Amino acid sequence: MTASSIWLLPGWQNSDAPHWQSRWEVVHGDHRVEQYDWMRPLRGDWQARLEDELLAAPAPVTLVAHSLGCILVAAWASHSRHTAKVRAALLVAPGDLERDDLRQMIPGWAPIVRQKLPFPSILIAANDDPYCAQDRSRQLAADWGSRFVDAGQGGHLNGESGLGDWPEGRRLLNELLKQKD
């Protein structure tokens, strides 16, 4: 696994410095897919950005998505003809964009695409995530064909969760990639 083959897909408002995705970018050299507008995410724009970057990728990549990034992976995979460029996906703390409050804050992303992903994936979610009830996360995992991992108490598994470099997440990523080999 080369560092540049791991692509980070942050959610709404990007991942701040204490977020494990930002730490992985620094510590492991993982590649962050930069979106045009982090504050007003448009599903079509975000999908096009991911598609453009993947088309330019010299080899298959592994997607590591957080929150809205998970919803992006599902939406992108349902429309792209280039899903073979994705080796696997680690999906962390998807937001429930079908909830009224979140649908109002981030319009245009509901309904969530529920199609099975065409590559192996693991979905990790805490049992106290304020943006998605764990039963909804479990259902998304089932719909997407992802292995579900219960992260216990951890909130939204973001910078505020105090995960630091999040070695458990990296261990699960490495486990996912070994399964794929």
The answer to whether the beta carbons of residues 121 and 91 sit under 8 Å apart is yes
The answer to whether the beta carbons of residues 40 and 68 sit under 8 Å apart is no
The answer to whether the beta carbons of residues 122 and 172 sit under 8 Å apart is yes
Q: How many other C-beta atoms are found inside a 10 Å radius of the C-beta of residue 48?
A: 13
Tokens of 85: 């460029």
What does the pLDDT average to over 12-22? 96
Confidence of residue 158 (pLDDT cuts 50, 70, 90): very high
The answer to whether the beta carbons of residues 43 and 108 sit under 8 Å apart is yes
24-32 LR contacts (CB < 8 Å, sep 24+): 24/64, 24/165, 24/166, 24/170, 27/165, 28/3, 28/170, 29/3, 29/4, 30/3, 30/4, 30/6, 30/64, 31/3, 31/4, 31/6, 31/7, 31/61, 32/7, 32/8
pTM for this model (two decimals): 0.96
For the chain, the maximum distance between any two Cα atoms, rounded to a whole number of angstroms, is 41
Give kind and range of the element (H or E) at residue 123. strand 121-125
The answer to whether the beta carbons of residues 65 and 89 sit under 8 Å apart is yes
> pLDDT tens digit string along 50-77?
999 999 999 999 999 999 999 999 999 9
Tokens 């080999």 found at: 181
The predicted structure's pLDDT at residue 67: 98
What does the pLDDT average to over 73-93? 97
> pLDDT tens digit string along 160-172?
999 999 999 999 9
Residue 130 preceded by cis peptide, ω within 30: no
